[in-house]
Structure 1
Amino acid sequence: MHNFQQLGLSDEVLKALADLGFSRPTEIQEQTIPTLLFENSDFIGLANTGTGKTAAFGIPLLEQIDGNESFTQALVLAPTRELGQQIAEQLNLFAKYLGKINILPVYGGAAIFNQIKALRQPQQIIIATPGRLIDLIERKAVHLDKLRFLVLDEADEMLNMGFKEDIDKILSFTPSEKQTWLFSATMPHEIRKIVNKYMTNPVEVKADDDANPVNVNIEHQYVVVKQSDKPEALTRFLDFHQDMRGLIFCRTRRDTQNLSDVLQRKNYKVDALHGDLSQAQRDRVMKRFKTHDLQILIATDVAARGIDVDDLTHVFHYTLPDDAAYYTHRSGRTARAGKTGISVAFVHTREKAKIEKLQKKLNITFKKVKIPDSGQIADIRLENWCRQISDRKIAKALPSGVQSKAEQIFENLTKEELIAKLLSHELDKLQLDNSGDLNRASAKKEKRKESRGEKRKFENRKAGTKKSRSGSEETTQNKNGEWHPRFFINLGTRDRMNKHDLMDFICLHAKVKPSDIGHVDLQGSYSFFEVDARVSRKISSNFKNIVLKGGRELRVNRDN
C-alpha cells in the first residue's frame, strides 16, 4: 500500500492530511486519487460506506479547483442534507492550506433565502441535495453552465429515495464536456442506465470489501427479547453501562420519536433524530450530543447519515435493518480512530435466521448476551438515587414549618429505619415492570410459539388442508418480523414522484402524519407503503373517487 506522499498530492493537501492524522490511504482512496488527478475521464467508484469515499473524490477535486475563478466549477450531489453537510465539513478540512476555495452546502430544511444570499458570492464548489438544487436553479440562483466536475455520491441511495428524475433534470443544466464521477455501494440496473446515458468510457474501480473491513475492533452482540420488553431491556443496558455513549437505530420515524419519549420520561439523557425535525431542531440535538449533554441519540438510518462523532462506545439496533450494508454502516459508527466498540442487536425469536445471514455475509461473529437482571439494575438505580440525594444542593429555603413537621413525624425512627423505608419506597418506584428475568421471558415465549406451531401443523395435517387467514383486515409482515398493514397505490416514479412526494400525497389525502408511514417501496408505475396499524382505516376510507391528471383513477388497496 502507498502512503499519501506517493499519490501525487500537493504539499498543501499533504499538510492538511497530516493535521488530521491521515497517514495511509484506504483502498478506494489509493485506487481513485491518482486516476482522478491525472486522467481526464469519467469515473465509477464502487465501495461501501465507511471506506473513505469522501476523501477519495474530495482530495483530487480540490487539487483541480481554481480559486481565482468565481464561477461554480464543481457540483457534488448527495441524497441527504446530513451527508451534504458532512462532505462540506471534510472538504473544508482538506482545503485548509489551499487558499481561497469557497465550498457551500445547500439542502432542504434550511432557509432558502440565506442560501440564495450566499450564492451571490463566488462558490467554486456546491454540495447539494437534488430537490433544493432544482429549486435554486429555477430561481436562477445557481448557474452550472461552466461546470467542470460533477460528483454523484451514494448514487444507489439517491435512486432508492426516488431522485432519478431530479438527477436527469439537473444534468440537463450542465455542459456535456464536464467530468462525471459516480460513487456507489452497489451498481443496480438503474445506475447502469445513468452511466450509459451520461458518461463516456468511464474508468471503474471497485474496492475489495475484505481488504478494508469496516467492523474491525467491534464486538457484535445480540439479545433475544420480546417486542414488548424492548424498552425495559434497553434501559437496563443503559443503566448497566453508565459510561456508554452511543446511537440507537429504529426503523421508522414514529418508532424513533416514541422510544425517545419513553426514555426521556424515565430521565435518560436521550433525544431523537428523524425526518420530521426541522434543521434548527436537528442542529440543537446534534449540538447537545457533541457537547455531551446527551448520552444517547435515537435515529433512523437516513437521519443518521452525516453524524460524524468518534467517541461512540455502543450502537444498538433496536430493530434490525433489512440490508446487510445498513448493518455495516450502523455498527461502523463505533470503534473509530483505533478505539473498540460494541454493537448490540435486539432480536425476537423469528429473527435468529437474520443473525446467521449477517454472520455469513459480513464474515463476522455474533455473541449472544443476556439482558441484565432486575436485581443488578435495582442495585444500580438505588445507588444512583442515593448519590443524587447526597449531592443535591438546597437551592432555596423550604416552606415554613415543613422540615419541623417531617422531623416530628420521623422522630421515633432510627437513622437505619428511615433509610430502609426510603429505599423501600424508591424501590417500589423503580418500575422494573415486574418483568424480572427478561431472558427467561423471551425463552418461554419461544417455547410457546414452537408448541403452538407444532399443534397447528398437527391440526392442518389432520384436516388435510393448509390453514388460511381469515378476518376483516389483512396484515402484512415486514422483513423484520413486525406486523404493519401494507398498501398498494398506482403512483410511482413515472408520475414524477420521489418517496418524499408520495409520503406528502398520502398524508394530505389520508389525513395522517408522516410519522404514521413506515417503509415506502417506490416502483415505476406503482408503489407499496406501510402504515401504523392505528391509521389503516383512514387509508382504506379516504382514498376514494380521486381522479389523477389525464383522467386516471387513483387506486389504493390493501396488498394481500
Structure 2
Amino acid sequence: MKTFQEYNFFDKNIIQAIEDIGFKYPTPIQEKVIPFLLSSEKDIIALAQTGTGKTAAFGLPIIQKVKLKSTLPQALILCPTRELCIQITRDLCRFSKFSSFIKIVSLYGGANINSQIKSLKKKNHIIVGTPGRIIDLIKRKKLSFDKIQYLVLDEADEMLNMGFKDELDSIIEKLPKKRQSLLFSATMSKYMNVIAHKYLIDPVEIVTGKKNIGADDVKHVYYIIEKLDKKYLALKRILDINPDIYSIIFCGTKKETKEIADFLTKDGYNADALYGDLSQTQRESVMNRFRNRNLKFLVATDVAARGLDINNITHVINYNLPKESQIYVHRSGRTGRAGNTGISICIIQTKETRNLKEFEKKIGKSFNRIMLPTGEEICEKQLFYFIEKIKKVVVNDNLMKKFLPKIQKNLEFFDKEELIKRFSWIGFNHFINYYKNSKDLNPVFYKKIIGSRTKKKFFSKLFLNIGSKDNLTKLRLINLINKAVNNSRINIGHIKILSNFSLFEVEKRYRNKILIGMSRINHFGKPISIEIKN
C-alpha cells in the first residue's frame, strides 16, 4: 500500500499537514475519490461507511485546487447539522494548516449572524454551512456564489430527511451551472436517487465496501428485557459491567434524551444530553466535555449526533431501536472508527427481535444476544477493575515520604487481610449496596418443567468439567454455549453449577454442535471437557 507521499497527490504544504495529523496511508474511499477529483470535473456519488475519512476525500482535493488569488468563495460544502458543519470546518483547517493563504468560513444557525456576515466581507475560498443559515444569508444578500466551482452535499439524504428540500433547491439555483457536484453519504437511502437526478449531471458512482452495510470493525449485540419499565435498569447494568466504557446512548425523542441524561446524572453517572433545542454555546460545551472525556456518556437524538467524528468511542447504545436500517448504520458507525473496534448494543423487548432480523438482512451483520449481567457479576467486575487501577497507580514517593510514618501509625492495628478488605470496600461498596438484593432482569422464555415428558423429549442434559471453583457462573455458561454454536437463540433449560463440575440442559437439536464447539474453548485457560448425561 502506498503512502500519501508516494502517491504524489498533493503539494508539500498539504503533505506536511497530513503528516502532522498522523495520516500515512489513504483509506479506501480516499484512494478512489482523491485521484478522481484531482483529474476529472465529472460529478460523483461517493458511498462509504462512517469513520472512513470522507471529509479528507473531498476536502484535500478542494484545498489543492482552489485559486488563492480569488477573493470570492470557490467551494460550497452543505451539511445537515451544526455539529457536522463545525467538524468539517475543523478538519479542513487542519488539512490547510500549512497552506496559510487558504481561508475557510463556517456558517450555521445558533451562532451570531453578524459575526458571520463580518467574516464574509473578507477573502474566503471555502464555505461550509447548513441550509437554513445559508438561505438566511442569501436573503440578506450577504453571499456571492458567482465563482463557486465545487458543490459538496455531505449527508445529503439526511438534509432531505430533515425537511431541507426547499432550502437546497433555492441554494443550488443560485450556483453557477458549470460546477462539479459531489454527493457523499454512508448509506444509499431512498433519497439518494432523487438527489442525484435533481442536482447532479451523469454522476460517477464510487463505492467502498457494500451499500448500506455496517462497518466491519463493529460488533453488534443485543439484550432482551421483558417489560419496558426495566429498560433503564438494564441500561445501568450494561454501563456497570463495562467499567472502561465511553459511549453515545441514542434515544428516540428529545424528551427521552433529557430524561435519561437526568436519570443517569442523578444516579452518579458522568452523562449529559445533546438534542436540537440546545443553544450553540450549550452544544459546544457538551461536545467539548465529551470530546475531552470529561463526560463518559453522551445521550443524544439521531439528528443531534449526526456527523459526530470522535475517535475511541467504545460502545454505541441503542436505547430505542431506530425505525430504519440506514439510521442504525449511522448510529453504529459512531464507534469502530479509524481502525479501532467497537460494540453497538441494542436494548429490546422480545417482540422487537423481528426488527433485528430485518436489520441483519439489510446491513449484512449478525446480532448476537448477550444475557444481562447479574448484580454479583457486576460487583466482581468492578472489584477487579478497581484492583487493576491500584496496580497501575504511579506513586510519587517524594511527596508521600513525609506522610508515610503517620499513615503507618494510624493503620498499625490492621493486618494485611483487613487492610485489603477495607481498601477494596472503598473502591466498590456502591455496587455491592446497590446490587445486594437485585433480581435477574433476563426474561424467562419458558417454564422449567424438570422431569416432565415434554422436557425429556426435547432437551438433553450435558456435563461440564468446570464449576464455581473455575469462576463459572450461569451467565458465563450461557455465553460459552452461545459462543460454541454462534447462536444466541438456543433454549437453555435447568443449570446447576457445583464446585468442580456443572450440569445444564439444552435443546437436543443443538446437542452435537455444542459438544464440538465447547470442546474447542478454554475457560480462563482451562480446556473444557463435555459429555452427554442423557
TM-score by length of 2: 0.70
How many percent identity over aligned positions?
A: 43
CA distance in 2: counterparts of 1:152 and 1:349, whole angstroms: 39
Please name the residue that 1:556 is paired with. Answer: none
- Displacement after TM superposition at 1:320 (Å): 1.6
The root-mean-square deviation of aligned C-alpha atoms, in Å, is 3.4
CA contact (8 A) 1:232 1:432 kept: no
Is 1:216 aligned to residue 216 of structure 2? yes
Cα deviation digits, residues 207-260 of structure 1 (max 9, x gap): 142499753333322110132111111112222222211111111111111111
Q: Equivalents in 2 of 1:427, 1:269: separation in Å?
A: 15
Residue 370 of structure 1: how far off its partner (Å): 1.5
Q: CA deviation at 1:271?
A: 0.5
1:81 paired to 2:82 = yes
Aligned residue runs from structure 1 range 131-142, under 5 A: 131-142=132-143
After superposition, the Cα gap between the structure-2 partners of 1:198 and 1:276, relative to the gap in structure 1 and judged at 3 Å, is closer
In structure 2, do the counterparts of structure 1 residues 175 and 186 end up closer, same or farther at CA, with 3 Å as the change threshold?
Answer: same
Q: Which runs of 5+ in 2 are unaligned?
A: 387-417, 448-534
CA contact (8 A) 2:79 2:159 kept: yes
Question: What is the alpha-carbon distance in structure 1 between the residues aligned to residue 312 and residue 430 of structure 2?
Answer: 33
Question: Who is 2:66 aligned against?
Answer: 65
SS at match of 2:160: helix
- Deviations 1:94-126 (CA, angstroms, capped at 9, x unpaired): 112223111111111212122112222212111
| Aligned twin of 1:149 | 150
Alpha-carbon distance between aligned partners in 1 of 2:13 and 2:142, rounded to the nearest angstrom: 32
Pick one of 434, 439, 451 that aligns with 1:436: 439
Contact 2:212 2:362 in 1 (8 A): no
* Cα contact 2:379–2:431 (8 A) shared by 1: no
Partner-residue secondary structure (3-state), 1:310 = coil
Q: Are 2:242 and 1:247 aligned?
A: no
Deviations 1:469-502 (A, max 9, x none): xxxxxxxxxxxxxxxxxxxxxxxxxxxxxxxxxx
Q: Hey, what's the Cα distance between the residues in 1 that align with 2:315 and 2:67?
A: 43
Deviation at 1:206, TM superposition (A): 2.9
CA distance in 2 between counterparts of 1:203 and 1:336 reads 28
Contact kept in structure 1, 2:145 and 2:174, CA below 8 Å: yes
Contact 2:214–2:365 (Cα < 8 Å) also in 1: no
Structure 1 212/257 Cα, relative in aligned 2: closer, same or farther at 3 Å? closer
One-letter amino acid of the structure 2 residue matched with residue 12 of structure 1: N
1:34 maps to 35
Residue by residue over 1:66-92, the C-alpha shift from the partner in whole angstroms, topping out at 9 and shown as x without a partner, is: 222221111111111111111111111
Contact 2:33 2:206 (8 Å CA) reproduced: no
Alignment correspondent of 1:184: 185
Distance 2:292 2:120 in 1: 31
Distance 1:384 1:7, change over 3 A: closer
Q: Is the 8 A contact 2:47 2:211 kept in 1?
A: no
For 1:300, the equivalent position in structure 2 comes to 301
| Cα distance, 1:373 vs structure 2 | 1.2
Which residue is 1:102 aligned to?
A: 103
Distance 2:360 2:8 in 1: 36
Secondary structure at the residue paired with 2:444? helix
Aligned length: 414
Query: What's 2:475 paired with?
Result: none
The code of the aligned residue for 1:71 comes to L
What stretches of structure 1 move > 6 A for 4+ residues in a row?
379-385, 426-429
* 1:280 Cα deviation after fit: 0.8
Q: Map of 1:339-418 to 2, 5 A cutoff?
A: 339-377=340-378
Q: Could you tell me how far apart the structure 1 residues matched to 2:47 and 2:8 are?
A: 20
Q: Which residue of 2 aligns with 1:502?
A: none
Partner amino acid, structure 1, of 2:209: D
Distance 2:182 2:383 in 1: 57
Of residues 93-102 and 189-198 in structure 1, the stretch that sits farther from structure 2 once superposed is 189-198
Matched position secondary structure for 2:249: strand
Quote the Cα distance in structure 1 between the aligned partners of 2:261 and 2:12. 47
Preserved CA contact (<8 Å) 1:27 1:207: no
After superposition, where does 1:366-515 map in structure 2 within 5 Å? Answer: 366-377=367-378, 436-439=439-442, 442-443=443-444
Secondary structure, in 3 states, of the residue corresponding to 1:209?
coil
Distance 2:385 2:25 in 1: 45
Do the aligned partners of residues 430 and 280 (structure 1) sit closer, same or farther apart at CA in structure 2, a change above 3 Å counting?
A: farther
Aligned-pair CA distance for 1:378: 5.8
Residue 245 of structure 1 aligns to which amino acid in structure 2? Y
Deviation at 1:180, TM superposition (A): 2.0
Alignment-derived partner of residue 491 in structure 2? none
Give 3-state SS (helix, strand or coil) of 1:351's partner: helix
Report if aligned partners of 1:67, 1:99 keep a CA contact under 8 Å in 2: no
| 1:164 partner letter | K
Letter in 2 for 1:149: Y
| Residue of structure 2 equivalent to 1:204 | 204
Match of 1:523 in 2: none
Shift of 1:47: 3.4
Change (3 A) 1:310 1:184: closer
| Deviation digits for residues 40-80 of structure 1 (CA, Å, limit 9, x no counterpart) | 23333233433332122111111111222221111111111
Aligned to 2:281: 280
Residue 166 of structure 1 corresponds to 167
TM-score in terms of structure 1 length:
0.67
Determine if contact 1:382/1:427 at 8 Å carries over to the other structure: no
Q: For the structure 1 residues 22 and 380, does the alpha-carbon distance in structure 2 shift closer, same or farther, using more than 3 Å as the test?
A: closer
Report Cα offsets for 1:300-322 as digits up to 9, x if no partner.
11111232221222211111222
- Residue 297 of structure 1 aligns to a residue whose secondary structure is strand
User: Alignment partner of 1:438: what SS?
Assistant: coil
One-letter amino acid of the counterpart of residue 207, structure 1: V
Specify the code of the residue in structure 2 equivalent to 1:222: Y
> Would the alpha carbon gap of residues 179 and 340 (structure 1) be closer, same or farther in structure 2, given more than 3 Å must change?
closer
Q: Render the CA deviation track for 1:384-405: whole Å, top value 9, x for unaligned.
A: 99xxxxxxxxxxxxxxxxxxxx
Are positions 1:225 and 2:228 aligned together? no
The answer (yes or no) to whether the contact 1:147–1:174 under 8 Å persists in 2 is yes
Matches of 1:379 and 1:6 in 2, distance apart? Answer: 52
Kept in 2: contact 1:289–1:295 (CA 8 A): yes
SS in 2 for 1:49: coil
Distance 1:433 1:249, change over 3 A: farther
Aligned residue number for residue 53 of structure 2: 52
* CA 1:222–1:145: 2 relative to 1, 3 Å: same
Is the 2:51–2:309 contact (alpha carbons within 8 Å) kept by the matching residues of 1?
no
* Contact persistence 1:130–1:163 (CA under 8 A): yes
Residue type of the alignment partner of 2:139: E
Shift in alpha-carbon separation, 1:191–1:297, aligned structure 2, 3 A: closer
